[in-house]
Structure 1
Amino acid sequence: MTHVYLCIFLKSFNEFFVPSFQSLTEDILSKLADVLEETHYSDSDYIIRQGATGDTFFIISEGQVRKSSDEQVPVKTLSKGDWFGEQSVAHFALLCKDIFVLLVCSAAHLHIFPRSFKQLIGGLDDVNNKQYDSDEVKAKLQAEADYFSSVTLNDIKIICTLGMGGFSRVELVQLKNDANRSFALKVLKKRHILDTSQQGHILSERRIMMEAHSPFIIRLYRTFRDSKYLYMLLEACLGGELWTQLRDRGSFDDGTTRFYTGCVIEALACLHSRGIIYRDLKPENIILDSRGYAKLVDFGFAKKVGLGKKTWTFCGTPEYVAPEIILNKGHDSSADCWSLGILVFELLSGSPPFSGSDPMKTYNIILRGIDMIEFPKKITKSAANLIKRLCRDNPSERLGNQKNGVKDIQKHKWFEGFNWEGLRQGTIDSPFTPTVEGPLDNSNFDYFPEDTEDPPVDEESGWDLEF
């Protein structure tokens, strides 16, 4: 039974659970489908005997089950869509008093273990607990949009190059009428995008960045296009990449790692609440502003799948890819939880836990599981516990992917005493404050030569009209 069918089956589930299952959101139903296991029984098999501990909840998806207490009690026949073992879900400590005898050969049963059910559902009051922008934030964003709506490419002056990618480069720029501010301009070659069939990724990146507003996500203000390039006018963060700091220091202590991980968690919380998965978490994609606060950049692999939905695209940096991506089982925001665990490990130790001489060897090591990895002594027990709970093989068991979402990560012992509200308000000191001498200071970035290539003109195909 496919994951999609399971979600539909649960949504239409009848009788006792109608009020509960039909009120669940798609993301919770999807998580329930993940923990369902399919079991087959043969004709006249006993499923539960009298006096057995009721620790399993069954839903019949095919065939029939006969229920009786003793020979004097009339037999009741259960069929597709019926359920039993419900007391274990309601109370988690009762004994099943009935005998269930299977009548039809090869009938399939789907069961939920109560622990998983409790973790995923809990009280239904919190199911629809989402993050929304305040009126003050919305007003600020509208004013910002109005300001940048009148900016054109002719208003932009290029200062120097901050970074380079496969088919893009990032320039430090200023607006000609404002010498007190600077911006980052991401320049992408249209011909290269077409040659590599990246149109969908680029348009998705733009849509997501225009939607995701968080102090921990790089801001996209405006986009432009001409016959050769696409342009994205971004917030300038002149503190450099987190990867540069990690490279220079070798590894971070608990306090430093906790701060930067906290910034990433806040960014992921914003994305996940909007049904967006990031899929490319690594130190190279975390940039520091002038205060030393971290922000996520590069949303080329990000995708809006919707709450409770999955996607099957294979993408990401090999060392950070979750097992379900490798196995093509479909993945959702829980893949970001896995990558968060890998990030914590790398920041504390200086290198990721899974690494091979080539991607295929790395994937094989990942599939062996986090429990096969020997943790360096510098990683404390509480940090190791957090990493292992983020990197559970089963996505439904990962911290951050259960009923309380990222709150479960924030309440973990490793974060004990951490000032989350101070982080959100920007009132706590960062562990490292970059030296930034002004809006044109690029000293925290490596040197890159000017781009002398003159790409061909892209014949207007219409795919870039959104820019």
Structure 2
Amino acid sequence: MPTLGFLKKKRTKDSTGSRDLDSPSSPSKETSFQNPPSASSKTGAPSGTKSSGGPHHSAHDSVTTSQFTQASTASSKPSEPMKAQQAYATPQSSPEPYQQTQHNAPSIQNLIHPTNSNQTSVPASQAMQYGQPIPAAQPQVRVTKGKYTLADFTIQRTLGTGSFGRVHLVQSKHNQRFYAVKVLKKAQVVKMKQVEHTNDERRMLQQVKHPFLITLWGTFQDAKNLYMVMDFVEGGELFSLLRKSQRFPNPVAKFYAAEVTLALDYLHSMNIIYRDLKPENLLLDRHGHLKITDFGFAKEVPDITWTLCGTPDYLAPEVVASKGYNKSVDWWSLGILIFEMLCGYTPFWDAGSPMNIYRNIVEGRVKYPPYIHPDAQDLLQKLITPDLTKRLGNLHGGSKDVMNHPWFAEVTWERLQKKDIDAPYVPPVRAGVGDASQFDKYPEETEAYGQTGEDP
């Protein structure tokens, strides 16, 4: 195992939309937002962006090759105070029951074959049942539209901050819609040696188009900053919902895991490895469906790569050991994500230092709490395994092996892809009015944007 240290840093989250909305520079096609669509509507869900929302424990801060320092330096730094509502749930043999509130009470009747009398049942001949996953999505390259400038938008407020800059909620002056603009400071990008990752992020986002991935509308720059225009995702981070809930019931975790599985299947069909899967990078649209955001570590890899990057708790052992790796690291991370959703903590978490986390990952011993469903534990054991010849997603059947696992038996993949299944939680937001109530508030940027002069 390499001698790796860790330097904490905040992450800036991106934002997205679920279908082709109007370009920010297009004239408005709608004059009223007074009739929001129903939960099962196919209209594009706005997307949003946000940083980690303050210091969590170091396991959920992303790291890159340039950020690994001597272990003694990293471990000697005093830990930052955690927010009370975002503290990690400690492992316990008899955890408190799942706490439901008025706004996050899961309603999962439609997750399993719908029986709600208000719904029209779908004949078996039309709905693709579990065991018959949908055909792999055909890769398609999406071309971002138009060129934008700061003059096209009115900046409303900050949604999140990070090491390279921040994300702002903005309103288009042309169609009055709300978007999220990610601002990256060029000097910081160069200083942190993130030029390649930043270029990769733009290139990956320009290529992808999927209901569970963020939408990039375009980019522009000035002498000091880079700007990325994306749809505003109103519902906030899955991380925040998970911390409020402590842990998710089995069907709720299954719903979110299934949407992530479809997104990974699509990315891998385009030879893209995501490499930073975690609750902070999963946003909820206004209907409660997921949007994967922050493609800063995504990379097109037809075979293998060696770059050391990701989030300590979620790193696969082959990454920690500095071995060449492939798309299988995303399936390992999916296993860690499912474990965290079901338990409220990650399997290799250690309060001491990231070095202890890396050691735990390499040793690979996972203790499964007794309340985990047997099918879920079986799936986790086949995802969180250092043996690449046994890891689901890396075998001959690829992602279909994950979809065909008994834990996903109730999932109708084709309907889920179309968002034709109600989400277990619908964020309490007002659609179309720039409601950012699900995001923490931050001090606003003091440096003026749009400066001219020498470009670093």
Q: 1:451 is aligned with what amino acid?
A: E
Q: Secondary structure at the match of 2:389?
A: helix
Q: Find out whether 1:423 has 2:416 as its counterpart.
A: yes
Residue correspondence of structure 1 range 164-183 to structure 2 within 5 A: 164-179=161-176, 181-183=177-179
How far off is 1:419 after superposition? 1.7
> Residue 162 of structure 1 aligns with which residue?
159
Instruction: Give the aligned partner of residue 405 of structure 1.
Output: 398
| Superimposed CA distance per residue, residues 412-452 of structure 1 (whole angstroms, 9 cap, x where no aligned partner) | 01011112111101111000001111331000111111011
Selected match of 2:431 from 428, 438, 444: 438
Q: Distance in 2 between matches of 1:388 and 1:368?
A: 14
**Structure 1: how far apart are the matches of 2:429 and 2:395?**
40
1:35-83 Cα shifts (integer Å, max 9, x gaps): xxxxxxxxxxxxxxxxxxxxxxxxxxxxxxxxxxxxxxxxxxxxxxxxx
Partner of 1:310: 304
Q: Measured at CA, do residues 338 and 426 of structure 1 come closer, stay the same or move farther in structure 2, by a change above 3 Å? A: same
Q: Is the 8 A contact 1:310 1:331 kept in 2?
A: yes
How many angstroms apart in 1 are the aligned matches of 2:372 and 2:453?
A: 51
Of 311, 315, 320, the residue aligned with 2:314 is 320
Is contact 1:335-1:395 (8 Å) kept?
no
Task: State the match for 1:360 in structure 2.
Answer: 355
CA displacement, residues 384-414 of structure 1 (integer Å, 9 cap, x when unaligned): 1101101111223210111221111111010
Computed over aligned residues only, the root mean square deviation of the Cα atoms, in angstroms, reads 1.8
Q: Which of the pair is proportionally richer in helix? A: 1
Q: Percent identity?
A: 43
1:346 maps to what in 2?
A: 340
Distance 1:153 1:396 in 2: 50
Judge conservation of contact 1:240–1:444 (CA < 8 Å) in 2: yes
Q: C-alpha distance in 2, partners of 1:410/1:346?
A: 19
Amino acid at match of 1:424: Q
Deviation for aligned residue 1:150: 4.9
**Residue 266 of structure 2: aligned partner:** 270
Task: Trace 1:83-232 onto structure 2 (pairs within 5 A).
Answer: 131-133=137-139, 145=144, 148-179=145-176, 181-232=177-228
- Specify which structure has the higher proportion of strand: 1
Report the Cα distance in structure 1 between the residues aligned to 2:405 and 2:289, rounded to whole angstroms.
Answer: 22
Contact preservation (8 Å) 2:213, 2:263: yes
- How far residue 326 of structure 1 moved from its aligned partner, in angstroms, is 0.9
Consecutive aligned runs of 4 or more in structure 1 exceeding 2 Å deviation: 150-153, 453-461
Instruction: Give CA deviations for 1:224-258 in whole Å, capped at 9, x if unaligned.
Output: 10011100001211000000000101000111101
**Does 2:455 match 1:460?**
yes
Residue 458 of structure 1: how far off its partner (Å) = 7.3
Question: TM-score scaled by structure 2?
Answer: 0.67
User: In structure 2, do the counterparts of structure 1 residues 175 and 381 end up closer, same or farther at CA, with 3 Å as the change threshold?
Assistant: same
Q: Name the aligned partner's letter for residue 306 of structure 2.
A: W
Once the two structures are TM-superposed, the CA of residue 189 in structure 1 deviates from its matched residue by 0.5
One-letter amino acid of the counterpart of residue 419, structure 1: T
Q: Is the 8 A contact 1:191 1:458 kept in 2?
A: no
- Tell me the residue number matched to 2:371: 378
Q: Which has the higher contact order (CA 8 A, sep 6+)?
A: 2
**Does structure 2 conserve the Cα–Cα contact (< 8 Å) formed by 1:205 and 1:302?**
yes
Q: Which moved more, 1:281-290 or 1:438-447?
A: 438-447
CA distance in 2, matches of 1:228, 1:213: 29
Contact preservation (8 Å) 2:237, 2:281: yes
Alpha-carbon displacement from aligned partner over 1:190-209 (angstroms, at most 9, x marks no partner): 11111222111100100011
2:278 matched residue in structure 1: 282
User: Are the aligned partners of 2:332 and 2:384 in contact in 1 as well (CA < 8 Å)?
Assistant: yes
Q: Deviations over 1:280-306 (max 9, x none)?
A: 111000001001000111111111112
The answer on whether the counterparts of 2:147 and 2:218 sit within 8 Å (CA) in structure 1 is no
Give the conservation status (yes or no) of the 8 Å contact 1:239–1:287. Answer: yes
- Matched to 2:194, the amino acid is Q
Query: How far has the Cα of 1:267 moved from its partner?
Result: 1.1
Residues 185 and 224 in structure 2, CA contact (< 8 A), matched pair in contact too: yes
TM-score with structure 1 setting the length: 0.66
1:313 to partner: Cα distance: 1.0
| One-letter amino acid matched to 1:232 | M
- Tell me the distance in 2 between the aligned counterparts of 1:150 and 1:383: 46
Q: Distance in 2 between matches of 1:354 and 1:209?
A: 31
**Residues in 2 aligned to 1:428 and 1:364: alpha-carbon distance in whole angstroms:** 40
Verify the 8 A CA contact 2:286 2:431 in the aligned structure 1.
no
Provide the residue aligned with 1:329 in structure 2.
Answer: 323
Question: What letter matches 2:338 in structure 1?
Answer: V
- What SS is found at the alignment partner of 2:197? helix
SS in 1 for 2:179: strand
Partner of 2:293: 297
Report the alpha carbon displacement of residue 454 of structure 1 after superposing the two structures with TM: 5.8
Corresponding position of 2:385: 392
State the alpha-carbon separation in 2 of the partners of residues 293 and 304 from structure 1.
26
Query: SS where residue 367 of structure 1 aligns?
Result: helix
TM-aligned CA deviation for residue 314 of structure 1: 0.9
Whether the 8 Å contact between 2:183 and 2:226 is mirrored in structure 1 is yes
- Separation of aligned partners in 1, 2:285 and 2:427: 8
1:301-360 superposed Cα distances (whole Å, 9 cap, x missing partner): 111112xx1111111111100000111111110011101000000000000000122111
Partner Cα separation in structure 1 for residue 321 and residue 158 of structure 2: 39
Aligned partner of 1:53 in structure 2 is: none
Q: How many angstroms apart in 1 are the aligned matches of 2:232 and 2:453?
A: 28
Cα deviation, residue 366, structure 1: 0.9
What amino acid is aligned across from residue 416 of structure 1 in structure 2? A
- Residues 457, 352 of structure 1: CA spacing in aligned structure 2 closer, same or farther, 3 A cutoff? farther
The amino acid across from 1:450 in the alignment is E
* Cα deviation 1:21-47 (Å, max 9, x = unaligned): xxxxxxxxxxxxxxxxxxxxxxxxxxx
